[in-house]
Amino acid sequence: MAKAKAAPKPKTHKVEALPENVRWGVFDASFPPVITIASGDLVVLECVSGGPEQVPPRDGKLKIPPKLIAIQDGGVPRLGPHIITGPVAVEGAEPGDMLRVDIEKIELGADWGFCGFRPLGGTLPEEFDYRRVLHIPVDRKKRTCEVPMGGGITLPLSPFFGVMGVAPPLDWGQLSTKEPRMHGGNLDNKECGEGATLFLPVHAPGALFSAGDGHGVQGDGEVCINALEMCLTGHFRLTLEKGGGKNDPLLKYPRAETATHYISMGMHEDLDIAMKQALKEMIGFITSRSNLSAADAYQLCSLAVDFHVTQTVNGEKGVHGMLRKGLLF
């Protein structure tokens, strides 16, 4: 009897933050992939952040990565707020499938980040109707940043990618990276850091995954518009689950998982509706994994699920629910 052919060993691919490998501010299913990988492969995406008005002076003490300068000067169309690296196609991905994104490692890519606000943006635009940008030094060895206010405030870093998403449906055309939607995008969920897993429904052939908007640290809410915006490099293992897999055949919305929690998400311009969406997603998740009824799950959410305001500054506001692992399954 012939032996079964061994599955190919997963490969590692790297995509540098070069002008030809990035999009500035948009998702679109018509964009060709910069690379195509097999399900289960690891892709290392180098990501940079910042427009000319957000970065330090080029001749100053804080050094701008040459690749960010090349993107700023290279004629990449600026159609939205974030520079994202990709898209990456996964062989065999089709609408109705699920993409599992394991965030295996996050590397710091610069010795500084920025945090700012501007007129007409943020949670309190009526009170802060002017422009301000802070350039914040980062100690990569200590993984801390020094915020230049009040004599200096040291914060430990907890890096993650604000933007992670697949292509939206082709008929949606170009979508700004500003608003998070069912394809993912600008989730700004600080729980989705190193070691976390993000699950995304696939809407276009190849899935077409992109990431960017590196955050060194952020509070829930991201209230002034920015976190510590900085250059990061992410190690993402992309695994295709056909038809959503056995556990999520009806996945229609992003969700996530950490070592300690299951996470549902809701997004809407109305924060109340975003809350309802996150709650409905959690109820659906619980009932799909247990013998609890919807009424049981609704009450359990009130007793044991923590709902957080993810962000209030992206047009589509965010709420995420956190169910501690081990409580049910």
Q: Does one domain contain both 223 and 265?
A: no
| Tens-place pLDDT, residues 129-144 | 999 999 999 999 999 9
Q: Does one domain contain both 136 and 40?
A: yes
Share of the chain above pLDDT 90, in %: 94
35 within a domain of the structure (yes/no): yes
Q: Can you give the pTM of this predicted structure?
A: 0.96
Q: Enumerate residues 6+ apart whose C-beta is below 8 A from 183.
A: 27, 165, 166, 167, 168, 175, 200, 201, 203, 254
Q: Does one domain contain both 220 and 314?
A: no
The last residue of one of the domains, among 208, 243, 278, is 243
Question: Which range has the worst mean pLDDT, 179-183, 251-255, 264-268?
Answer: 251-255
Q: Does one domain contain both 84 and 231?
A: yes
- What is the per-residue pLDDT for 56? 97
Distance CA(36)–CA(190), nearest Å, equals 28
Average pLDDT over the chain reads 96
Q: Which domain holds residue 63?
A: 12-243
Q: Does one domain contain both 56 and 158?
A: yes
Q: Does one domain contain both 23 and 168?
A: yes
Q: Does one domain contain both 266 and 313?
A: yes
Q: What is the total count of domains within the chain?
A: 2
309 within a domain of the structure (yes/no): yes
Q: Does one domain contain both 212 and 95?
A: yes
The domain that contains 194 carries what CATH number? Answer: 2.60.120.580
Distance CA(329)–CA(327), nearest Å, equals 6
The domain that contains 321 carries what CATH number? Answer: 3.10.28.20
Q: Enumerate residues 6+ apart whose C-beta is below 8 A from 216.
A: 108, 113, 138, 145, 157, 158, 159, 227, 228, 229, 230, 232
